[in-house]
Structure 1
């Protein structure tokens, strides 16, 4: 995780980052969203798609309408249904008449503290894209790449005309993705990382943070980082049975206190995956190696 760049940030501005891609930053910065959610408008004037419309915020919706500039909207596309990604899909659909396309609905109750933005229980899709299905418009094709793990309904979208991949929260250059059990699944997340590593996308555009111009290198490093964390957990449990909080204290030296919950959820996701593989077990809230 890295420190956000100094202000001012381009919040609300339509940035032309490629001939087919405009980017608009939402006003929702936080320790988990970096400088805010980045909404992408894909198209060159004859008709566009809006990816990850973001929070239902009046200023952000006005900025999106300005970025669209009266261009027909063919689809409003959501990578997943966390509250910092999908709620603006509904008012934007009402204003533009565009269908909501992309990930499947998911409303999941999680007991205890959450580290992410939480789920959007009111999300509905007019069309759910399966892995490999595409949404097309004038001069652009966005193909769904199923990447469960961060959440079970997560999709990335590949822009075939430019080699760009919109990665939502699955891969970000500024931070590893938070995997929150029980819907978030570390085993699925690792398999999805492996899938992306096999692809040859030119550049990643995540929903938070800067573009990733060496995607395979980053993904390879992320896989290595997760394996390192897994090995660290196994080593610490090999020394003595421990609770999640004790593992976090040993594993994350100098951690920003605001991120302690996220670290605990990540460790829990690793432990659940290790348990499924028969490598660890638990008695109450205490984990040990098998």
Structure 2
């Protein structure tokens, strides 16, 4: 079974399988990936990102995940988190997120925390990866005890997508934080499978992270080149025209948001390099 496989439980690693929500679009690619974490013999499962408040998807996810002991969120965006409260009603499981306002019946997640629950063999390492949003986290899926078992994959939410790149939220995202998160994933993700929030899974988180860093650097370079040619007082819309001349017009708003974030980063880091990008598909 290969991506995309709607409403099916598609195994990806020994302990991680995915149910693809049928909410395709420019932002969500083929849809939101809802991850089900459990070993084959486990009585319970952990579900990561139940997705939007789509009753059909939530019921299918419930049937595929069976007994759910815990619900986790990678970040606050609606296509990942809006269905969490309803999924809690269906399963009785608590919801945990880095932002306490999105938690139901449980405490907020902590950076570096190891999640282990009765009835589920895999353990999950919580790693705060701000940038896309301030509350973004990645979940490192271990087959057992972290450090002494296999790191089967990293659930990245929208920090890294399975295809294209992702935008940074203008409200609570930060390019500097995002670059630090990407560099960490580049180091820790060498040879580790990518389990993204959208798009197909990948073989090496590090390779995706390196590509993302390069793309951000390219966008910053474009801004510097535009400043040299047109001056730093270039109008925003003109700058976007120069930078995103090959981007679908439907993504114009997202390109503008990305450019504003890049300009904010440059204003805060005079003379420093690194990059920014357009959301050519993932949120």
Shift of 1:253: 2.0
Shift of 1:15: 1.2
Return the match for 2:174 from 154, 169, 185: 185
Flag as ranges the 4+ runs of structure 1 deviating above 3 A.
none
CA distance in 1, matches of 2:69, 2:112: 19
Aligned to 1:232: 222
Return the match for 1:145 from 124, 127, 141: 127
Aligned to 1:220: 210
Number of aligned residue pairs? 255
TM-score under structure 2 normalisation?
A: 0.85
Q: Return the structure number with greater strand share.
A: 1
Superposed, 1:1-290 pairs within 5 Å as 9-44=4-39, 45-69=42-66, 71=67, 73-105=68-100, 123-125=102-104, 126-137=106-117, 138-161=120-143, 162-163=150-151, 164-200=153-189, 202-239=192-229, 240=231, 241-279=233-271
What are the superposed Cα offsets for residues 263-289 of structure 1, whole Å, 9 maximum, x if unpaired? 111111110000011359xxxxxxxxx
Three-state SS of the structure 1 residue aligned to 2:112 is coil
Extract unaligned runs of 5+ from structure 1: 1-7, 107-122, 281-290
Deviates more, 1:175-184 or 1:34-43: 175-184
| Highest RCO, 1 vs 2 (Cα 8 Å, sep ≥ 6) | 2
Extract unaligned runs of 5+ from structure 2: 144-149, 273-283
Deviates more, 1:8-17 or 1:151-160: 8-17
CA distance in 2, matches of 1:158, 1:135: 10
TM-score under structure 1 normalisation?
A: 0.83
Shift of 1:244: 2.0
CA distance in 2, matches of 1:22, 1:221: 25
CA distance in 2, matches of 1:210, 1:146: 23
Structure 2 vs 1, CA of residues 50 and 43 (structure 1 numbering), >3 Å: closer, same or farther?
same
Structure 2 vs 1, CA of residues 223 and 205 (structure 1 numbering), >3 Å: closer, same or farther?
same
Shift of 1:255: 1.2
